[in-house]
C-alpha cells in the first residue's frame, strides 16, 4: 500500500483545521493571551495547534 494514500486524509484534515482556525483567529477580536502567539501556535503546531485555539484561545462572550 502506498504511504501517501495512508497520509492523505491526515494531511487534508490538518489543512482544513488550520484554515478554519486561521479564519476564526482573524475574526476574533480578543483571545485568551496574545493574538500573535495564537497565530504562531496555529501555524507551527500541526493538528494540535488549531484544536488548542478552539478549546483555549477564543474568549467566551
Query: pTM for this structure?
Result: 0.83
Nearest to 26 by CA among 8, 38, 17, 16: 38
Concatenate the DSSP letters of all residues of 19-31 into one string.
Answer: HHHHHHHHH-S-B
- State the pLDDT at residue 61: 62
CA–CA separation, 24 and 43 (whole Å): 13
For 4-61, the pLDDT digits (tens) are 888 999 999 999 999 999 999 999 888 998 999 999 999 999 889 999 999 999 876 6
Amino acid at each position: 500500500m502506498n504511504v501517501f494514500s495512508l497520509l492523505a486524509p491526515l494531511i487534508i484534515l490538518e489543512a482544513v483545521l488550520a484554515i478554519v482556525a486561521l479564519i476564526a483567529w482573524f475574526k476574533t477580536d480578543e483571545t485568551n493571551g496574545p493574538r500573535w502567539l495564537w497565530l504562531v501556535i496555529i501555524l507551527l503546531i500541526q493538528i494540535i495547534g488549531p484544536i488548542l485555539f478552539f478549546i483555549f484561545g477564543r474568549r467566551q462572550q
